[in-house]
Amino acid sequence: MSERKKKGRNVVQKWIEDNVTFEGSECLLWPFTFGGNGYGWVQYQGRSANASRVMCRLAHGDPPTEASEALHSCDNKKCVNPNHLRWGTKPENALDAIERGQRVYKPRLSKDQFRQIREMRGAVTQREIARRFGITIAYVSKIQLNSETGKTAG
Ligand SMILES: [Zn+2]
């Protein structure tokens, strides 16, 4: 075993790249430094960033919008399991938390949103729509099948 003198060169980067294909279902805890916000901290490609964000980007591609954040399905800030990470926005995350809490939650969607949901029928999976709007798949289905639903909005 020859120990190379590349002092810590991209050990972190290598770890991330090695784990992009991580397939375990358990949380993959960040083994390096954490930032003040409790998230893993990484210097990656010349920038400092949240480790979960870097992992999400490598595993799932660029964030769809500027406001997108790497959301944890497991609520574990220290986790960087790519399977637990996805792009989303904060309000959506809050809704996820509510759904996980198994509370009955029917957000009030605008007429425009009802229309969008119906227009996405066939083009976007119901699962994806449910994620985007923070509603259940069953509710998406109901909206798409029942054109009257829009009348109850607002
Ligand atoms: Zn996790």
Q: Are 125 and 99 in contact (CB under 8 A)?
A: no
CA of residue 84 to ligand 1 center, whole Å: 5
Task: Report the amino acid identity of residue 119.
Answer: E
pLDDT digits (tens, 9 = 90+) for 38-50: 999 998 778 888 9
pLDDT at 117 over 80: yes
Distance 10 CA to ligand 1 centre (A): 23
CA 77 / ligand 1 centre spacing (Å): 8
pLDDT tens-place string over residues 87-114: 988 765 666 666 665 444 456 788 889 9
Handedness of CA 117, 122, 123, 125 (dihedral sign): positive
Q: 88 — phi, psi (to 5°)? A: -170, -175
What angle is formed at CA 89 by the lines to CA 20 and CA 145, rounded to 5 degrees? 105
Each residue's pLDDT tens digit, 18-69: 999 999 999 999 999 998 889 999 987 788 889 999 999 999 999 998 888 8
Show the tokens assigned to 74.
Answer: 């497991």
CB neighbour list of residue 120: distance below 8 Å, 6 or more residues apart: 129
| Contact criterion met (CB below 8 Å) for 147 and 119 | no
Residues with CB under 5 A from ligand 1 (ion): 27, 74, 76, 79, 81, 84
